[in-house]
Amino acid sequence: MLTLTITTIQSNLIWEDKLANLKMLEEKIANIKEKTEVVVLPEMFTTGFSMKPELFAEDMKGETIKWMKRISNEHGIVLTGSVIIEEEEKYYNRLIWMLPNGQFGYYDKRHLFALSEEEKHYSFGNKRLIASVKGWKINLQICYDLRFPVWARQAPINKTEGAAPEYDALIYIANWPECRSHAWKTLLCARAIENQCYAIGVNRVGNDGNNIYHSGNSLVIDPLGQELYHMADIEDVSTITLQKEGLEDIRTRFPFWKDADFFHIE
């Protein structure tokens, strides 16, 4: 319970081709050599950042959810990434947190990217998902959410002696373009420092169907803001083990989280 091993998959997604992406990602997962516990895929990993949900949406019993259940079970991993989901005649950019036993949680993207008119095609989420694995708590978010620190803000439940931070790591999955990569890298570092947690950002690489280039720049950052992993411009599958003992030591020596402002998110 003192460690958590995570594999990040920085991949060039095949534009709006679900079957090709599932085949490609299945091969990458099968070729992971290290023993891992959580595998993280990019945002909209079956299509790329498509604004055509009416063509590509599935329901929660669809082919991609079945694929995630099978892959998670076969490899004994938690598998996460977002897909286009239709529910009650609405479309969502939905992150799935799939467990090996077939149970799952999900998070609908809260902040929809107006520059791409995402809000005209998808519905907003209204609640966070903080998942638990091996005693680690992980706050799961999507791409543009990174620009809104209140949505990620760490806050103790109370100020009693036994109070503890809400979570230990932030995961952001993304289709974040290269032209704003400086913001991506800077904000991931800021989220780690201000929340005294690990921050994991998993982005795609390559050109999408709109000829927008993505440089990846997937990152793992420790609670002091130091880079533990960084890869740009190429496809890469990387496995890293996070240390709970080091995290708790930092929070003990520098208990800044205890001084956080209290607020409630509706």
Active-site positions read: 43, 109, 143
DSSP string, 118-160: GGGTSPPP-S-EEEEETTEEEEEEEGGGGG-HHHH----S-SS
Spatial neighbors of 209 by CB under 8 A, at least 6 apart, are: 15, 16, 48, 50
Dist CA 98 CA 176 (whole Å) = 23
Dist CA 242 CA 252 (whole Å) = 17
Is the Cβ–Cβ distance between 70 and 42 less than 8 Å? no
Beta bridge partners of 5: 241
Dist CA 101 CA 115 (whole Å) = 38
Crossing angle of helices 18-30 and 63-75, in 10° steps, is: 0
List, in sequence order, the alpha helices (H) in the chain: 18-30, 53-56, 63-75, 149-152, 181-195, 244-253
